[in-house]
Copies of this chain bind each other. A is one copy, B any other.
């Protein structure tokens, strides 16, 4: 049994959680508020960030979502999630980086700051200029996602992969925070609906963060 230190609205935690569920790796979830800087958590990961995965006895400690996912890809051969050759894997990793870096910087971190952090922690009004920029950026990212899906079955290639998991993890957090208008993105919606219906995704969609109500469509398969 592995232990996953996670925060429910941390997209990097969601990415690891989904991947471990897809690979049927038995995992105990431990909720962590990384911003509180608990000493015992910092001892596990001096970077102070979720996710962290440990063995039950905590003699094995894995930090950084990419390092964690590569580890389980190497050690758990069932349900491979990285494609079958070096070039396919390079493309999967490129798409993961797109969402982990670009989507998160331009959209995710802004929504988390303005709609989560300011609402439930600092109790400040959101910065509407930043939110408007993030909403514009979402459109560009969904267009890119649809461009990829116009050319291939899944985001990283012909098979479901960590590229889809990473993208869905980031998209799901932004969707929880009301940041996505699905109306004009049919292809992205079809893709996300297919992912939402996977058993790995269901527990995550039913989880709620106190003080933050997601939009009505958030956990619906037909939205």
Q: Cβ of A62: which chain B residues have Cβ within 8 Å of it?
A: 90, 94
Among residues of B, the one whose C-beta sits closest to the C-beta of A65 is B97
Q: Tell whether, in the assembled complex, residue B102 and residue A90 are in contact, meaning their CB atoms are under 8 Å apart.
A: no
Q: Cβ of A94: which chain B residues have Cβ within 8 Å of it?
A: 62-64, 67
Known A-B contacts A66-B66, A102-B47, A144-B46; the reply to A71 vs B97 at CB < 8 A is: no
Known A-B contacts A86-B75, A144-B46; the reply to A70 vs B93 at CB < 8 A is: yes
Q: How many residues on the A side are at the interface (Cβ–Cβ under 8 A)? A: 25
Interface of A is mostly: helix
Tell me how far the C-beta of A62 lies from the nearest C-beta in chain B, rounded to whole angstroms: 5
Cβ contacts A to B, 20 pairs, < 8 Å? A47-B97, A47-B101, A47-B102, A60-B87, A62-B90, A62-B94, A64-B93, A64-B98, A66-B66, A66-B93, A66-B97, A67-B90, A67-B94, A67-B97, A70-B70, A70-B93, A71-B87, A71-B90, A74-B86, A75-B86
Most chain-B CB neighbours within 10 Å: which of A63, A89, A94? A94
CA distance A98 to B91 in the complex (A): 23
Q: Which 7 A-B pairs have the closest CB atoms?
A: A67-B93, A64-B97, A71-B90, A74-B86, A67-B94, A64-B94, A67-B90
CA distance A60 to B87 in the complex (A): 8
Interface status of A68 (Cβ within 8 A of chain B): yes
Given contacts A62-B94, A70-B89, 9 further A-B contacts (CB under 8 A): A64-B94, A67-B94, A67-B97, A68-B90, A71-B86, A71-B87, A71-B90, A74-B89, A75-B86
* Contacts of A49-74 to chain B: CB distance below 8 A: 60, 62-64, 66-68, 70-71, 74
Q: Cβ of A71: which chain B residues have Cβ within 8 Å of it?
A: 86-87, 89-90
CA distance A46 to B144 in the complex (A): 9
